[in-house]
Chains A and B, each alone.
Chain A
Amino acid sequence: MLEFLNPPFMQRALLAAVLVGITAPAIGIYLVQRRQALMGDGIGHVAMTGVGLGFLLSTNPVWMATLVAVAGSVVMELIRWYGRTRGDIALAMLFYGGMAGGVMLINLSDTGSNANLTSFLFGSLSTVSEEDVTAILVLAAFVVLVTVGLRRQLFAVSQDEEFARVTGLPVRALNLLVAVTAAVTVTVAMRVVGLLLVSALMVVPVAAAQQISKSFKVTFVLAVVIGTAVTLAGTVTSYYQDVPPGATIVLLAIAAFIVLTALATPLARRRARDRGSEADRCTLEVPAARPAPDDVSV
């Protein structure tokens, strides 16, 4: 029945998948809130250079990718502060430079091959090593600690940065922390989902969750549940059907988004109807004589 649990490589892949399912939406929600949904994609590109360096220096590519992705995310945050006018061009240089650098370094190394490259770009189950699992566990713990422990502060900074500065919060430090945490998440997800599809797992579960939620808290919990469900389902499907896990996971997440959107539409229509009847009651009254329209509970 649960035959997919037997091979040790699948146990490692499933553990990594669960951690990705939790961490990617957990940091992704703050990126979506700041309307920087594609930041994860940029970090994924930069992390490629780290993977290439790992191969070239024959060290663990996960740690090397983490190092380079963190450095890249810090540079991106600095560009956001200082380079307002030509910021997008500078970011483009960083993204494509990172990608090209990675491809070049992997080809220069003795151990790296195109097959290796593809597994990092699109994810692969069989390549999650014991060593990777340790790295992924440590990094995932850091991401959960930051995204849950500092949720109030990160919410405020991502909701309204200017206001957050006037509350005296260390906004720059918190922004840097979000960037670094996103970079760490990219490397956590790299093995299973692949660098090109990491960003999808940060954004799509959040987008799906917010179709049916009214609060940040519910969106957060629901996005993590959706993320974990699709990474697990995708990993198992990939085991039986021999399809790339990253693509399977992302397509499942998009399916979840479509289903929840379809469910939410009648819900929104009913809410709109309730609000409509509220307006009906007041049309013939003098504006100054009627109570505030929002005194009417929905």
Chain B
Amino acid sequence: MPEPSTPEPVISMRGATATLGARPVLRGVDLTVHRGEVVALLGANGSGKSTAVRSVIGQVPLTGGTVELFGTPLRRFRHWARVGYVPQRTTAAGGVPATIREVVASGRLSRTKLRLPGRADRAAVDRAIELVGLSDRAKDSVNALSGGQHQRVLIARALAAEPEVLIMDEPMAGVDLASQEILASTLREQVAGGATVLLVLHELGALEPLIDRAIVLRDGCVMHDGPPPEAVGQHALPGHDHVHPHAASEPVRTGLLT
């Protein structure tokens, strides 16, 4: 796995500012994710962590600062098949019934675009469903699934494009224990295969052993960028006036995965 000093980071956000209405949500956020890294974005509700990832993929316009994906400025970035996005959702369902396979197949569109899917595309969709352990239910309606299974469908949809980086917004929200373990093992396989991951989490939980680096946001500013803080939720999170001594500039690798 390349060292953090690799010249071209997968995600690079510099001095990002964003507002919601009149309220500043991001107030100069720097965020870098290198190839092969698993970075968690932590923070309390309203700290700007969700806005930060959504501006990385261009869903929230920045009022200042820059974002680069794979070294290309966001505005000129076109290779969306390299990015797998898992939005913050409690359901994968829409207004009309759809099967798990139909929803996951829509993730492949970043590669097929307007052409018809071929054999390789169908195989990739099947593989993505298998990765999250839902092969036996591929033809079931997503309406019949539990909260955790919905998240697994959303992750399979992102994996269907065989992306190089996974960007996930609260993938563990409302997920039962059994599904959390399946999600963690899916993620572990992806990371072992060289995938880069940026994920927003409310707490580290079942994913803790996978995380290389944690970035803690508070009121739209980076409070911590380094190894995952211990006892997240009591000490490192906003609301608790406690600054980590290692909150310095240089990211520290824990070596957990190398």
Residues of A within 8 A of B (CB): 29, 32-35, 37, 150, 152-153, 155-156, 158-160, 162-169, 206, 210, 213-217, 219, 271, 287-288, 291-295, 297-298
> CB-nearest residue of chain A relative to B105?
A152
Distance (Å) between the CB of B1 and the closest chain A CB?
26
B149 touches A294 (CB 8 A): yes
Q: How far is the CA of A294 from the CA of B133 in the complex (A)?
A: 9
B87 touches A160 (CB 8 A): yes
Distance (Å) between the CB of B210 and the closest chain A CB?
19
Distance (Å) between the CB of A261 and the closest chain B CB?
14
Indicate whether A271 sits within 8 Å of B144 (C-beta atoms), given known contacts A167-B107, A214-B139: yes
Interface string of B57-69 (1 = CB under 8 A from A): 1110000000000
Indicate whether A158 sits within 8 Å of B113 (C-beta atoms), given known contacts A166-B59, A167-B161, A293-B178: no
List 23 interface pairs A-B (beta carbons < 8 Å), by A numbering: A34-B95, A37-B95, A152-B117, A153-B109, A155-B102, A156-B106, A156-B109, A158-B95, A160-B89, A160-B106, A162-B87, A163-B106, A165-B59, A168-B79, A168-B110, A168-B113, A169-B110, A169-B113, A214-B141, A216-B97, A287-B177, A294-B134, A294-B146
A29 touches B96 (CB 8 A): yes
> CB-nearest residue of chain B relative to A32?
B95
9 A-B pairs with the lowest CB-CB distances in the bound complex, closest first: A168-B80, A167-B110, A156-B106, A214-B141, A292-B178, A166-B85, A33-B96, A159-B94, A215-B99
How many A-B contacts if CB must be within 8 Å? 118
A153 touches B94 (CB 8 A): no
> CB-nearest residue of chain B relative to A206?
B96
> CB-nearest residue of chain A relative to B88?
A162
Contacts of B177 in A (CB 8 A): 287-288
B106 touches A164 (CB 8 A): yes
> CB-nearest residue of chain A relative to B54?
A162
Contacts of A219 in B (CB 8 A): 96-97
B133 touches A159 (CB 8 A): no
Interface string of B84-121 (1 = CB under 8 A from A): 01010100101111110011011101101110010000
> CB-nearest residue of chain B relative to A288?
B177
Query: Chain B contact residues (Cβ within 8 angstroms of A): what range?
Result: 35 or more
Distance (Å) between the CB of B255 and the closest chain A CB?
28
Known contacts A155-B98, A294-B133; 13 additional CB pairs below 8 A are A35-B95, A155-B106, A156-B106, A162-B87, A164-B106, A210-B97, A213-B97, A214-B99, A214-B144, A216-B96, A216-B98, A291-B178, A295-B133
Contacts of B87 in A (CB 8 A): 160, 162-163
Distance (Å) between the CB of A25 and the closest chain B CB?
11
Contacts of B181 in A (CB 8 A): 292
Indicate whether A33 sits within 8 Å of B182 (C-beta atoms), given known contacts A167-B161, A215-B139, A215-B141: no
Distance (Å) between the CB of B55 and the closest chain A CB?
12
In the assembled complex, B35 has its CB within 8 A of some CB on chain A = no
> CB-nearest residue of chain B relative to A292?
B178
In the assembled complex, B8 has its CB within 8 A of some CB on chain A = no
Contacts of A156 in B (CB 8 A): 106, 109
Indicate whether A164 sits within 8 Å of B109 (C-beta atoms), given known contacts A216-B102, A294-B149: yes
Most buried by A among B97, B99, B134, B144: B97
Q: How far is the CA of A155 from the CA of B81 in the complex (A)?
A: 18
Contacts of B146 in A (CB 8 A): 293-294
A32 touches B96 (CB 8 A): yes
